Every structure is written in structure tokens, then in C-alpha cells.
């Protein structure tokens, strides 16, 4: 029986495994390393987090991004965004060096059992462990507008479904959304010759400022942290433990403000005057027509408009919810306490309400704040979660339900 099974091999899962291995725990990691970044983000994309906030986490800080860049003979690049390809290769390098191997099979079922849990892989093999860390990332939570659900994937896709955009070269594409994913997707499409337009519900686009210098006075760091590029995050990106102690209504307000749609400073010039943007529009209906889709849109200032397009890419974000944690059996999901929006609650060490089941990554953002939606949150999460795992292991079999 393992001490810990980690379900998910993205930045959070790999960081948790690195901390667990360093603590001497018997750990096994399931999932294809960096799969979301390798298979679901278009080539040519850049990270929104600045380089110094894009590290995976190991206890000694030996396997940082800047170490990898030096190892590969790449420029430090502190002033500019990190290319997706560099970050993906860095994550694979981290997995090889900081993690005691990964099992690339997908876990399809996690269920409680006496003294812990059992996990079943896609080919039917069963593993047992005293604790489980669920680090499934963003992909299970991709949110497609209800009006577009049921339309064929040949005509409608979520932005997270594209590792390549060249299939849309010389075609007509409409991108929904006003956040970073929508803006950068539209920019990449325009740059390859696609006829592209953006449909944005707001009346204008919001742009983040360039990230602050890494070295600066302490009072400036406290007011505008490095956790993510936006000033709106302020201290809550750096103080997730304190964020969790706030009343739920305050956390909801802060989280909504920090995660409101906005574009990174460096993509602005690639969008303005280069991509058609239709403001104050929301899709009210969609149907298949020869050659693509007919979209019926509501105009915020009154009225309606119809447009036809060859394909819709919905860069409409991600919505964590308990029902989307598919590896957990329905019986186990039913035992988890939830907060606002049906999101599972996590304790101060990321343990769910079911003893021994730990949560990591975006699903914990409602409790720990915007940091959990960015790479910068991996360090706090991994160190804190593994302390929680060690505490749970010390309680012995009496700590688990029978």
C-alpha cells in the first residue's frame, strides 16, 4: 500500500510528488506529465505568469525554471513571457529529475476502502494507498455556453481542445470571450491568416500592466505581488492561507475581481487594430447552416444581430465543480462538503471533508484564492498539502472512516 497516490501529472501533481518523495513517503503519480500543456494549448502561446512565478516546486528549489534555462543554454528571459514550448520542456525535465517516476495511465476510479483508498487505472489495474491527492488541473472544468452544447465538434470547440490552430488557416472563425485565452487565440489565428473575430460581452477589453520588477521594496511587493500579472490580485496571490480565513462572501468578491477577464500586456499590440472585436455581444442562439454556423447574438445596448461563421472557439473559461471530479466515485463525491457554487471545501492543509482525500489546483481556488489558478500557487500547495498528508498518516487507521 502506498502512502500517497497523486492523480494528475501537471505542475501541481508533479510538485506534490516531489515534496512527498523528499519527505520519504511512498508515492506514485498517475497521468501523462504536462499533458494539458502539451496537448491542449496551441503552439506559439506564451505564459501569463512572469518567469520568476512559473516554477514547479521541490523542497530545495533545485529544479527551478531558471536552472533549466541555464542547463539548456537559454537566455534567462526575466523581462518577457515564457514560451509554451520552453515551459513544457521544463516540466518534463522537472518530472525526470524531481519525481520518482510517473505512471502515464489515467485513473478512472477512486473509491474509499478500509484504511485508505483504491484507485483503478484505465486498463483495470488496482492500487491502494492511505491517502490520495487529486490534482486534475483545469481540463475537466472546461465551460461551454449552454447555447452551444450539443453542436458538433467540427463546428464548436472549447479553446482548451486545440494543440494546433493550423486547421483553421484561411477559414472564418469566431472566438468567444474577452480573457487571455480568447485574446491570444484570436491573435494566433490572425497571424496565420485566419479570418477571425472576437465576440465580447463587455463594452471594452481590459489589459493587465507589465509585471513589476523582481527586485523592489518590500512594501511594493506586499501591495502588488508576483503571483500573477494583475494588480487586482494584490496580497491574495501571496497569502493563500490568510485568504482562506476570510468570510466566504469576501473571498467570492475578491476572487471574482482578481479573475475577471483581462489580457496580458504583451498581447495587446497583437490584437488591437488587427482583430475585429464585436463588443457587448452575447450568443443567444446557434444553428448549423451550410458551411458553418449561424449565430444569433444579443447586443447589450439593445437589439439583435446575426452572423455566420465557419467555426466557433469558446474561450469561455473553466468552472470547477464537484460533479466534474469524475475519478471520484459518486458515493465518495456525495460525502464531500461543498461551498458556494458546488465546489468542494478544502481544509487548511488542502484535505477535503473526507479524511485522507486531498485536493490541489484550480478546484481549491474558492478556498485559497487566485494563486491556485496560477503556477505560482504550486509551491504553497505542495508544501502545505504534503504536511497535511504526513499529519494524516500519523493518525493511524483510527483516523479513517470504517
Each residue's pLDDT tens digit, 28-81: 999 999 999 999 999 999 998 889 889 999 999 999 999 999 999 987 766 679
Evaluate whether residue 76 is within a structural domain.
yes
Mean residue pLDDT of the chain comes to 90
Evaluate whether residue 248 is within a structural domain.
no
Evaluate whether residue 154 is within a structural domain.
yes
pTM metric for this prediction: 0.90
Nearest to 372, CA basis, from 254, 262, 224, 221: 254
Q: Give the pLDDT score at 219.
A: 42
| Residues whose CB is less than 8 angstroms from the CB of residue 318 and which lie 6 or more positions away in sequence, other chains included | 138, 141, 142, 143, 160, 362
Over residues 87-109, the mean pLDDT reads: 97
Name the grid cell of 375: 503556477
- List pLDDT tens digits, range 134-156: 999 999 999 999 999 999 999 99
Q: Give the pLDDT score at 80.
A: 79
User: Over 50: is that where the pLDDT of 369 sits?
Assistant: yes
Domain end among 271, 298, 314: 314
Same domain, 117 and 163: no
Evaluate whether residue 217 is within a structural domain.
no
Evaluate whether residue 381 is within a structural domain.
yes
CATH number at residue 395: 3.50.50.60
Same domain, 128 and 151: no
- Res. 222 pLDDT band, cuts 50 70 90: very low
Same domain, 173 and 303: yes
Q: Give the pLDDT score at 377.
A: 93
| Residues whose CB is less than 8 angstroms from the CB of residue 166 and which lie 6 or more positions away in sequence, other chains included | 192
| 213-231 as b/e: b if 16+ CB within 10 A | eeeeeeeebeebbbbbbbe
- Res. 210 pLDDT band, cuts 50 70 90: confident
Evaluate whether residue 162 is within a structural domain.
yes
Q: Give the pLDDT score at 400.
A: 53
- List pLDDT tens digits, range 267-325: 999 999 999 999 999 999 999 999 999 999 999 877 899 999 999 999 999 999 999 99
Evaluate whether residue 255 is within a structural domain.
no
Count of structural domains, the chain: 2
Domain ranges, residue 100? 2-141+318-399
Rounded CA separation 52/168 (Å): 34
Same domain, 98 and 192: no
Rounded CA separation 181/175 (Å): 10
Over residues 214-225, the mean pLDDT reads: 50
User: Over 60: is that where the pLDDT of 356 sits?
Assistant: yes
Same domain, 280 and 323: no
Evaluate whether residue 19 is within a structural domain.
yes
Over residues 248-257, the mean pLDDT reads: 82
Helix (H) or strand (E) holding 189: helix 180-191
- Res. 212 pLDDT band, cuts 50 70 90: low
Rounded CA separation 179/164 (Å): 19
Amino acid at each position: 500500500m502506498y502512502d500517497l497516490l497523486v492523480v494528475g501529472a501537471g505542475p501541481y501533481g508533479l510538485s506534490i510528488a516531489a515534496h512527498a518523495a523528499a519527505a520519504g513517503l511512498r508515492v506514485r503519480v498517475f497521468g501523462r506529465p504536462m499533458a494539458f500543456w502539451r496537448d491542449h494549448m496551441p503552439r506559439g502561446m506564451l505564459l501569463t505568469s512572469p518567469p520568476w512565478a512559473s516554477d514547479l516546486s521541490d523542497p530545495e528549489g533545485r529544479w527551478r525554471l531558471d536552472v533549466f534555462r541555464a542547463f539548456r543554454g537559454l537566455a534567462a528571459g526575466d523581462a518577457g513571457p515564457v514560451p509554451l514550448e520552453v515551459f513544457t520542456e521544463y516540466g518534463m525535465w522537472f518530472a525526470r529529475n524531481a519525481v520518482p517516476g510517473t505512471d502515464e495511465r489515467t485513473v478512472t476510479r477512486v473509491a474509499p476502502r478500509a484504511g485508505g483508498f483504491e484507485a483503478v487505472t484505465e486498463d483495470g489495474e488496482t492500487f491502494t494507498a492511505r491517502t490520495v491527492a487529486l490534482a486534475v488541473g483545469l481540463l475537466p472544468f472546461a465551460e461551454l455556453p449552454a447555447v452551444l452544447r450539443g453542436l458538433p465538434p467540427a463546428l464548436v470547440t472549447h479553446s482548451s481542445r486545440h494543440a494546433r490552430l493550423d486547421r483553421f488557416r484561411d477559414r472564418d472563425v469566431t472566438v468567444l470571450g474577452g480573457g487571455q485565452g480568447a485574446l491570444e487565440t484570436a491573435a494566433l489565428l490572425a497571424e496565420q491568416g485566419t479570418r477571425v473575430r472576437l465576440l465580447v460581452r463587455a463594452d471594452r477589453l481590459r489589459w493587465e500592466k507589465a509585471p513589476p520588477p523582481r527586485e523592489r521594496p518590500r512594501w511594493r511587493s506586499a501591495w502588488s505581488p508576483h503571483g500573477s500579472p494583475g494588480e487586482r490580485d494584490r496580497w491574495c496571490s501571496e497569502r493563500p492561507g490568510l485568504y482562506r480565513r476570510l468570510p466566504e462572501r469576501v473571498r467570492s468578491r475578491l476572487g471574482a475581481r482578481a479573475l475577471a477577464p483581462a489580457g496580458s500586456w504583451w498581447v495587446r499590440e497583437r490584437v488591437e487594430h488587427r482583430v475585429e472585436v464585436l463588443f457587448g455581444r452575447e450568443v443567444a442562439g446557434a444553428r448549423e447552416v451550410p458551411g458553418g454556423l449561424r449565430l444569433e447574438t444579443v447586443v447589450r445596448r439593445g437589439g439583435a444581430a446575426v452572423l455566420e461563421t465557419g467555426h466557433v472557439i469558446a474561450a469561455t473559461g473553466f468552472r470547477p465543480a464537484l460533479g466534474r471530479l469524475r475519478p471520484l466515485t459518486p458515493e465518495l463525491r456525495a460525502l464531500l462538503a461543498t461551498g458556494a457554487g458546488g465546489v468542494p471545501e478544502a481544509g487548511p492543509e488542502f484535505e477535503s471533508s473526507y479524511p485522507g482525500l486531498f485536493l490541489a489546483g484550480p478546484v481549491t481556488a474558492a478556498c485559497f484564492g487566485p494563486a491556485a489558478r496560477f503556477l505560482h500557487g504550486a509551491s504553497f500547495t505542495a508544501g502545505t498539502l504534503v504536511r497535511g498528508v504526513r499529519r494524516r498518516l500519523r493518525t493511524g487507521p483510527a483516523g479513517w472512516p470504517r
